[in-house]
Chains A and B, each alone.
Chain A
């Protein structure tokens, strides 16, 4: 088997092994289903409640993507501002760090008071939890512009906006796309948390309902669905990253020595 084939197979094999161990463990030790259901029980629940799971999963996906989209817009703007201006950086960074340290679970009840139960708190939680890595990465990409290059351009009388547009922003793109991969998985965490605490639809709400009636296999089915959606979105943004900023991944391959 070629190295490439091994690399492609590795994640599937590793996941299958984990599921197999889990399944065997549950059977050998006869673990009660309401404590820890075997993967087969979770899959059975997945099939049995496919309809409900599908509707709620799609809902959660939309909520997550909406929150994520807000995070991308807001994160880019704030990242550019803090990366390009030392004053904006000094003014805003402590606030950002402080805000990021607040557990978003604690914010959900406040959002519910403001906006009521439903999609809005979930969208906002997804947004609030995922914008931070985007801001930090974009700001880093812009702020690490080589001082020599800046001197070259400034000595030509280049405007700051031109330097930002032609050099700063393109430079920040690999950082930006890398942060999207982290941000999208965080956005799922945010929306599912909010649905679990105060939702009336979505995969988080479904899991809460299932666990309160001890249908634990269904809870695990929900977890699997969230994980799969997370992996799918991560893969999508990893692919996008490769497409958009391939120049950052090309290794050193000189044409001549």
Chain B
């Protein structure tokens, strides 16, 4: 059974006369799968993440998690956006711990289990290469390091699903490619389910098992590509013909979508 399913979902913002972000949007995402949604900007890709996270109800159709309709904030979901939004008055470690302090599932026991949580957060920071920066303020971290901490914050409660909305879009090319590797390592080690929204086709091809191309607004899926490149993928992978061809095909799809 698919972990996340959407059947002919529509999403309209701002009442019956508002903007139609998604229409006739159907998708099925398996547990542990790394899915990427690519499409022109403003196509409603991010809206799908709002539906999965329970932040916005569907206007039509049905979205399910574990086979149950999504009707509000769900358990076991982590989110990260382009903007790292770390709290400047907290240390890196305290930022990573924030979800455990406020989440419905952990806030009651946070104080008793603080040591255990801290150990887990420190371990996460170590995996992304930030162990020695645990007590630094976010302003002391570079953009790439802030985004690593942001990933840790999204994963600290060991969510089943990680929702990423253009997480690396604000970074320079080198840092971005470095973080692809960091994210892939985290995913290979923990095998959570990822939904990545991006307009970077190389990023999608590098990271994803499945890439869905989303049409212009109102968004729906117009093409789906499996990516069978072996893991772990490296920067060398991005120069292989199979990878280059895939990116070209995706680019053609996007051009068609944009002209449609």
Q: Identify the A interface with B (CB < 8 A).
A: 146, 148-149, 151-159, 162-163, 166-167, 170-171, 173, 245, 247-248, 250-257
Contacts and interface: CB of A to CB of B under 8 A. Distances in A.
A247 B103 contact: no
A256 B55 contact: no
B87 interface: yes
B22 interface: no
A155 B54 contact: yes
A152 B73 contact: no
B136 to A, nearest CB: 6
20 contacts: A146-B83, A148-B81, A148-B82, A149-B85, A151-B81, A152-B80, A152-B85, A152-B153, A154-B55, A155-B74, A156-B73, A156-B77, A158-B103, A159-B102, A166-B102, A167-B87, A170-B87, A245-B89, A250-B137, A253-B139
Contacts of A245: 89
A157 B88 contact: no
A162 B88 contact: no
Interface in B82-111: 82-83, 85, 87-89, 98-99, 101-105, 107
A170 to B, nearest CB: 5
B50 interface: yes
A163 B140 contact: no
B55 A155 contact: yes
Given A156-B77, A248-B88, A255 B136 contact: yes
Contacts of B98: 153, 166
Contacts, number: 87
A115 B129 CA distance: 66
Nearest to A171: B87
Contacts of B50: 151
B142 A155 contact: no
Contacts of A156: 73, 77, 99, 102-105, 157
B22 to A, nearest CB: 17
B247 interface: no
Contacts of B80: 152
Nearest to A149: B85
B105 to A, nearest CB: 7
B99 A148 contact: no
Nearest to A163: B102
Interface residues of B, number: 38
B173 to A, nearest CB: 15
A158 B73 CA distance: 9
Nearest to B87: A167
Given A148-B81, A156-B73, 17 more contacts: A146-B83, A148-B82, A148-B83, A148-B165, A152-B99, A153-B102, A154-B55, A155-B54, A155-B77, A156-B99, A157-B73, A158-B102, A159-B102, A162-B107, A171-B87, A247-B139, A253-B139
Contacts of A148: 81-83, 85, 165
A256 B104 contact: no
A111 B169 CA distance: 59
Contacts of A171: 87
Nearest to B139: A250
Interface string B50-65: 1001110000000000
Given A146-B83, A157-B105, A256 B145 contact: yes
Given A157-B103, A166-B102, A257-B142, A151 B137 contact: no
A164 to B, nearest CB: 11
Contact of B141 (A163, A247, A254): A254
Given A151-B79, A154-B55, A155-B53, A170 B89 contact: yes
Given A166-B98, A257-B142, A158 B137 contact: no
A155 to B, nearest CB: 4
B140 A253 contact: yes
B197 interface: no
B142 A256 contact: yes
B104 A158 contact: yes
Given A255-B133, A255-B140, A155 B73 contact: yes
B4 interface: no
B83 A247 contact: no
Contacts of B153: 152
B154 interface: yes
Most buried by B among A149, A152, A159, A163: A152
A154 B49 CA distance: 13
Nearest to B85: A149
Contacts of B73: 154-157
